[in-house]
Structure formats: C-alpha cells, structure tokens
C-alpha cells in the first residue's frame, strides 16, 4: 500500500506541487457533487447486464431536463422584464442541452429487443410517459393538458408544483407579450387568454411576427427571440423523433409499460406545435 501511495504521489509533475491532496478538513469534489448518493442511485431490479444502461440513460436525461427547466424558467423571467439579450443566452444553452439529450438515444439504441425483453417486466407500469419534468417542459412551452396531472396525485408536493406550472405563463406567452410591449398589435383575447389551455394560432400574432421578420433592423431583438424559439421547437421535435424510432427499434409496436400505445402515441405527438406562427410565416416571407 505504501508503494502504491509513493507511485501516485510521484506521478504528479514537479511544477504541480500546489495540487491539494489532504482533504481531512476540506470538501472534496465527490462531496461537492454528492457523488456517493448519485452513483448509488442505480437500483437494478433484475440481474440483467443491460438494465444499468437503461437506468442511467433515463437518469441522465432527467438531469438534463432539470437544467432545461432551470434555464427556460429564467429566460421567461428575463423576457417578462424586457431583458431579451439575457434570455438569448439562456435559450441558446437550452438548445445545446437538447442536442445532448438527442444523442443519448443513440446509446440506448444499442439495446436490442431480445436484451430488453429479458428485464422489461421488472419495470411494472413505470414509464417515461410519467416523467413529471417532461410534463413541466411541455407546460413551459405552452402545451397544457390537465388529464396527465392525475398521474402525480400520489405525491401532493409534486402535484402542487405541476399545478403551478400548468397555470403559469409559457415561454411563448412571454414572447407574445414582448411583441405587444414593442407596440405591435396583439388581440386582447390573446394577451388575456386562459393560460391553462393549449395555445392556438392567432392571426394578430402571426402579423406581428411577420412585421418583425420583414423589418429585422427595427426589431432585431424580437427577431433573435423568434429564432431562439424556433431552435428550441426544432430540437424538441428531433428529440421526439429519435425517441419514437428508438422505441420502435427496441419494442416495435408493443403497448408501452405505462399503458400508452407506444410508437403510435409517439407518432401522434410529433404533430404537436408550440410556436405555430413562427413556422407559418416562413411561407410568406
């Protein structure tokens, strides 16, 4: 053991003698990141080798979703306060996070149907469909559906958080209000709409965005905001597509563990739109 310690110490370059090695009274990297708790949270319910892959992929995705919520909620506040340039940094970061989550499907896709079938029953009725962070992201982007809230009634504190997100202004609501503050006409019915309903395309919003895109110099910040929103929806649709194809690759058209129709359901949600006018205007520019 002493020989090992000597070897480890001697491996530090002579010009790096300032590196700390005594943490008797100091916080370590592992303690700061709570690595003991984090790395012990992979509780496999079967003896199958590939269940570890399945758990870690989903845990990593949930961590990224936590950061997406953190950044997007901050962006909404910045937009509401007229700090559009601050929101650009937040939203650009969200897009980069989304690219990481999309790539995670490539790793999960190494799981074959035969391998997954050997531990799938261990999941019971647990399913990614029940991800509350994903629902909060949908709410934050403006897609509000109250029927999914019932899933979370088992956890009162969580249910309260989801109710709060369900009734809060979405990222697109904040963007539309920023159009109105810039003097662009938005119908009052849109500015005072029921925030618990999914957003529906509106002609006044479309015309406002068209004016922004036709006069970029005058409305540069709003133009940049529009493009950041398009980036986020684009990446979200790519994530959903990779999700759908990965599920099809692994389980085909079987029913999902949570009771959904699986691939059929995932194909349906590909048609959901979050910022419709920003896509429609491209035909008219």
Cite the annotated binding site for substrate by residue number. Answer: 54-58, 116, 120, 257
Burial string for 247-276 (b: 16+ CB within 10 Å, else e) reads beebbeeeebbbeeebbebbeeeeebbbbb
Distance CA 272, CA 195 (A): 17
Per the CB < 8 A criterion, the answer to whether 201 and 276 are in contact is: yes
Annotated binding site for heme: 243
Annotated binding site: 54-58, 116, 120, 243, 257
Distance CA 101, CA 70 (A): 16
- Give, as one character, the DSSP assignment of residue 256: P
Distance CA 30, CA 222 (A): 43
Distance CA 129, CA 123 (A): 13
DSSP for 23-89 reads -TTS--HHHHTTHHHHHT----SSS-TTHHHHHHHHHHHHHHHHHHHHHHHHHHHHHHTT-HHHHHH
């Amino acid at each position: 053991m002493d020989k090992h310690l000597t070897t480890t110490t001697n491996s530090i370059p002579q010009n790096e003698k300032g590196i700390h090695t005594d943490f008797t009274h100091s916080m370590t990297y592992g303690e700061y990141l709570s690595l003991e708790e984090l790395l012990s949270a992979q509780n496999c319910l079967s003896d199958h080798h590939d269940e570890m892959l399945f758990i870690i992929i989903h845990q990593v995705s949930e961590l990224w979703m936590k950061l997406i919520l953190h950044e997007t909620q901050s962006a909404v506040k910045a937009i509401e306060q007229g700090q559009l340039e601050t929101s650009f940094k937040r939203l650009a970061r969200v897009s980069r996070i989304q690219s990481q989550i999309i790539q995670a499907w490539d790793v999960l896709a190494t799981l074959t149907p035969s391998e997954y079938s050997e531990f799938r029953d261990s999941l019971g009725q647990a399913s990614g469909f029940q991800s509350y962070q994903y629902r909060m992201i949908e709410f934050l982007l403006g897609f509000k559906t109250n029927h999914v809230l019932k899933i979370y009634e088992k956890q009162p504190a969580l249910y309260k958080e989801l109710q709060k997100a369900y009734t809060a202004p979405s990222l697109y609501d904040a963007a539309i209000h920023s159009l109105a503050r810039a003097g662009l006409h938005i119908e009052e019915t849109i500015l005072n709409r029921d925030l618990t309903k999914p957003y529906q395309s509106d002609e006044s919003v479309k015309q406002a965005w068209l004016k922004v895109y036709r006069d970029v110099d005058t409305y540069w910040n709003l133009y940049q905001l529009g493009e950041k929103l398009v980036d986020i929806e684009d990446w979200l649709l790519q994530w959903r597509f990779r999700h759908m194809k990965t599920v099809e690759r692994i389980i085909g058209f079987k029913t999902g563990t949570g009771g959904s129709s699986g691939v059929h359901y995932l194909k349906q949600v590909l048609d959901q739109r979050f910022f419709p006018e920003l896509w429609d205007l491209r035909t008219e520019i």
